[in-house]
Structure 1
């Protein structure tokens, strides 16, 4: 599961870099699908990841408001700040974090921690697909989402025959 978190973070960083070619107006332009803008969709991905994992570890707090993150640099900083907290925790405690259940403050339901982690991972992948559609609508090549060649799985060297 950890390689998928690293995958999502790599892809997210590449999309944030991709966004640098646009002005704020284009990043906030209302679009069909997702969170209706490129920047809001990236913000949403970051917020959902941190909120759900925060619920699992019992550190729920009122999440950030998109109205406070209307610039690309502020969304990049939020992503960096949250990852700085999440990455070492996931690398050290992921098996433990997968055990148990969580009832987030915003839900009446209780979920298994493992289900939540898979939700967080696939949620980001889903939204990356939306960003790719918008990129194509702008006639700009989207970020490659291939897992292959990202050096995320460290296996024994292949033996060539």
Structure 2
């Protein structure tokens, strides 16, 4: 599972790099689907991953918003900061019973640790797909989604 998080982080970093060559108005433009914008979607990806991993650790969650993180540089900094902490949270989580049920404040039911980890992985993949659609809509190539060739096991 760690390799899938590493994959998501590599792809996210590549999208953040991709954003450097895109005019800011395109990054902030309202779009159909998803979180309605490229930067807003990137903030959402980071927010969801961090919130669920904090919940697994029994820590209070925080919410990151596109209003607060409204520039590419702020989002890059946030991503790097969160990634470092999530790595540690993952190590701690995998030492625990994966069938343990966790209740979070934003859901009505509890979920197993394993289910939450799987959700975090596929959530980011889903939204990366949305970024790919938007990239093509503005006439740009998208970041490769291939797992193969990234040096991950």
TM-score, normalized by the shorter chain, greater than 0.5: yes
Q: Which residue of 1 aligns with 2:2?
A: 2
Tell me if 1:108 matches 2:108: yes
Equivalent-residue separation in structure 1 for 2:75 and 2:26 (angstroms): 15
The alignment's TM-score, normalised by the length of structure 2, stands at 0.94
Tell me, what secondary structure is at the counterpart of 1:40? helix
Moved more, 85-94 or 135-144: 85-94
Q: Which residue of 2 aligns with 1:122?
A: 122
Equivalent-residue separation in structure 1 for 2:85 and 2:99 (angstroms): 20
Gaps of 5+ in 2: none
Kindly report the root-mean-square deviation, in angstroms, between the aligned alpha carbons of the 2 structures. Answer: 1.4
Equivalent-residue separation in structure 1 for 2:135 and 2:119 (angstroms): 24
Superposition deviation, residue 8 in structure 1: 0.2
Q: How many residues align?
A: 153
Confirm or deny: 8 A CA contact 1:98 1:117 kept in the other structure: no
Tell me, what secondary structure is at the counterpart of 1:26? helix
Tell me if 1:74 matches 2:50: no
The alignment's TM-score, normalised by the length of structure 1, stands at 0.90
Q: Which residue of 2 aligns with 1:50?
A: 50
Gaps of 5+ in 1: 154-161
Q: Which residue of 2 aligns with 1:157?
A: none
Superposition deviation, residue 80 in structure 1: 0.6
Distance 1:93 1:58, change over 3 A: closer
Tell me, what secondary structure is at the counterpart of 1:21? coil
Tell me, what secondary structure is at the counterpart of 1:102? strand
Equivalent-residue separation in structure 2 for 1:23 and 1:98 (angstroms): 43
Superposition deviation, residue 72 in structure 1: 0.5
Moved more, 58-67 or 25-34: 58-67
Moved more, 85-94 or 70-79: 85-94
Could you report, residue by residue, the CA deviation over 1:36-68 in whole angstroms, capped at 9, with x for unpaired residues?
Answer: 000000000000000011111111223122211
Tell me, what secondary structure is at the counterpart of 1:111? strand
Q: Which residue of 2 aligns with 1:147?
A: 147
